[in-house]
Amino acid sequence: MKKMFFLFSFIQLIMVNVFAADDISIIPQPVKISRSSGNFILPKNITIELNSHLADVKETALEFSKKISIVTGYQTRITENGTNSLNAIHLFLNKKNDVALGDEGYTVSVTAKGVFIYANKPAGLFYGLKTLLQLLPKEIESNSFIQKSSWIIPAVEITDYPRYKWRGILFDVVRHFFTKQEVKSFIDNMVKYKYNMLHLHLTDDQGWRVEIKSLPKLTEVGAWRAERTGRWGEFSKPSPDEPKTYGGFYTQDDIKEIIKYAADRYVTILPEIDIPGHSLAAVASYPELSCTPGTYQVNSGDRFMIWKGKDFYGLLDNTLCPANENVYTFLDKVFTEVAQLFPFEYIHIGGDECYKGFWEKSEACQQLMQKEGLKTQEELQSYFIKKVEKIVQSKGKKIIGWDEILEGGLAPDATVMSWRGMKGGIEAAKMNHHVVMTPNDFAYVDLYQGDPVAEPPTYSMLRLNKSYEFDPLPEGVDPKYILGGQCNLWSERLSTMRHAEYMLWPRAFATAECLWTPAAEKNWNSFYQRVEKQFLRFDISQTKYSRSMYDPVFTTSKDANDSLLIQLKTEIDGLDIYYSFDETEPDNFYPKYKNQLSIPKDASNLKVITYRDNKPIGKLIVMPIAELRKRAGKK
């Protein structure tokens, strides 16, 4: 019996080790990580030892201890006079600066005797704890108590620090409004993956979301639009007397609360006031700011801009008038309050997608152009941005703007956020300006992430594997000008927080790793396996995510007889694709895709589903043959 007991214990020990070793799966991948033998088993009375009395360190320790005690049910205790006692979690600031770690780096050492996290600064301890949470079993992601016989942390040695200091996500809270609580939960998820910048897109054609006390109509009028549900861009125009019931805004107290919540988690808020285009909410509130004063309404998702490829044509004037001095008085008021409210050194002034056709027709703009010797509408916008830069600087802040601010001449001290690919960023860096990279072809997480026939409607395509290829440092650019990067979550088509999460994850895992992990340490195969582990954690935290990486990619070609051929592949390895043309639902007893398919005469749909290890993993996709013909350019 005794022998049996020992054998059982031995097997259990091995199983614990195997389980723990397999379970190391951290996003973003740390700079250096090595597994050592053994594990640390969380004691039922956990001591968190600090070696400093800094409030920031205490705050970080408290947040962690609350999380741990809620989920495990264990007692936690924080002491500020840490020694090297056994069985404790130590959060120690380095006595001597470790240059390699910088301000946000950390080391984690887990042994059977305890956990040691060292950093130069409190932010490093915060990130060390985020890593420790990912080392704990996935159940730690629960929002409530979980009964578990033991909480095991595999023994590891980690040294980690970020590649970039600007690791952001843009959250568009205009096209759809998200409450203060939702913004906080957005921050909670960001920081798990070591993001440190939340770019809040606060104003646009569909709303003005920040209280400006000296300009009350911005939120009395500008924050509200007619409610519409369905397909964005195809909504009906609101009638003038229709109640404007959809919207909302953050009071200045709300903003202060969000800033504090973010700062406690080492997140900076970058506010964006998008001008001179994208300004319909401001114009609806104060029509005299337009070159074409009249009656305007906040846009409700009805079409007012016609897009032809990269060109666009405005049916309605949604711009501020660069030739109207009252516009600069207005902006002075806005930036006075924004600068007082947001502690960050930068204010984002937009500058993108400004349709200038109404300026072209404006007498006042023509006179101004003549007086100032401006030859093009781009130079007129540049004149406007340079004046705005002076206003913003007079409030003690710097401007950052979308790459259109390069057109017509860049303002002297502007930082450029490159979104139309990396081109603008490269140009700005070569002119010795700072740059944040957020190229639409790698970092726009509002785009399709799987085939459009199987996804909620949006536009263009950014699959997970492409988002993982993002590298903010283009060849030939001096790295010192690249502050970092962001992924951008525009919200035209995000009417709920659940869908915001669906669009963000897993692509924001990819951006997080592209911004944190050294380029040489990135590895797609390792990454998607770690993504799958995060999915299990999201299942527990009940965070929504997209499983589109399990769905096949369809491509088409034509054979020598001009007949359609269909190719299927998957983003990740190890999946089997089963298909049917006969309208029935394929499963793993159906034909398995091996080579390109030709279409049986009269078939109208190709149905496909992916399996792994004989279990369905992707969703059933019904692809109309007519759609494939269209894609192949066939009738």
Question: Is there a contact between 62 and 20 (Cβ–Cβ < 8 Å)?
Answer: no
Residue closer to ligand ACM (CB basis): 398 or 420: 420
Q: How far is the CB of 352 from ligand ACM (least distance, A)?
A: 4
Q: How far is the CB of 350 from ligand ACM (least distance, A)?
A: 8
Among 334, 331, 385, which residue's Cα sits nearest to residue 356? Answer: 385
Q: How far is the CB of 161 from ligand ACM (least distance, A)?
A: 30
What is the DSSP pairing of strand 197-201 with strand 166-172?
A: parallel
Q: How many helices (H) and strands (E) does the chain have?
A: 18, 28
Cis before 456? omega within 30: no
What is the DSSP pairing of strand 398-402 with strand 415-418?
A: parallel
Residue closer to ligand ACM (CB basis): 124 or 350: 350
Residue closer to ligand ACM (CB basis): 10 or 459: 459
Residue closer to ligand ACM (CB basis): 446 or 513: 446
Question: Is there a contact between 412 and 439 (Cβ–Cβ < 8 Å)?
Answer: no
Which residues share a beta bridge with 269? 198
Question: Is there a contact between 299 and 174 (Cβ–Cβ < 8 Å)?
Answer: no
Q: How far is the CB of 460 from ligand ACM (least distance, A)?
A: 11
AA identity, residue 293: P
Give the integer Cα–Cα distance in Å for 360 and 291: 10
Q: Is residue 120 helix, strand or coil? A: coil
Give the integer Cα–Cα distance in Å for 404 and 421: 12
Q: How far is the CB of 419 from ligand ACM (least distance, A)?
A: 4
Q: How far is the CB of 540 from ligand ACM (least distance, A)?
A: 34
User: Which DSSP string do the residues of 601-615 spell out, in sequence order?
Assistant: TT--EEEEEEEETTE
Q: How far is the CB of 353 from ligand ACM (least distance, A)?
A: 5
Residue closer to ligand ACM (CB basis): 59 or 352: 352
Sole residue written with tokens 């090297």: 84
- Residue 193 burial (C-beta neighbours within 10 Å; 0-12, 13-18, 19+): buried
Give the integer Cα–Cα distance in Å for 577 and 551: 9
Among 594, 625, 611, 233, which residue's Cα sits nearest to residue 453? Answer: 625
Contacts of range 516-521, beta carbons closer than 8 Å, 24 or more positions apart: 516/28, 516/162, 516/163, 516/164, 516/167, 516/194, 517/28, 517/29, 517/30, 517/31, 517/163, 518/31, 518/163, 519/163, 519/471, 519/473, 521/29, 521/31
Q: How far is the CB of 417 from ligand ACM (least distance, A)?
A: 8
AA identity, residue 352: D
- The runs of H, that is alpha helices, within 342-422 are 357-360, 363-372, 377-394
Q: How far is the CB of 402 from ligand ACM (least distance, A)?
A: 5
Interacting residues toward ligand ACM by CB under 6 A: 352-353, 402, 419
Q: How far is the CB of 448 from ligand ACM (least distance, A)?
A: 16
Give the integer Cα–Cα distance in Å for 465 and 452: 17
Both structure tokens of 303: 């079409």
Q: How far is the CB of 414 from ligand ACM (least distance, A)?
A: 15
Q: Edge-to-edge strands of the sheet including 597-598?
A: 553-558, 564-569, 597-598
Q: How far is the CB of 548 from ligand ACM (least distance, A)?
A: 22
Q: How far is the CB of 592 from ligand ACM (least distance, A)?
A: 41
The count of other CB atoms within 10 Å of the CB of residue 169 is 27
Q: How far is the CB of 201 from ligand ACM (least distance, A)?
A: 9
Q: How far is the CB of 233 from ligand ACM (least distance, A)?
A: 15
Which residues share a beta bridge with 91? 50, 117
Name the residue with the smallest CB distance to ligand ACM.
352
Residues 6+ apart with CB under 8 A from 243: 226
Give the integer Cα–Cα distance in Å for 352 and 81: 52
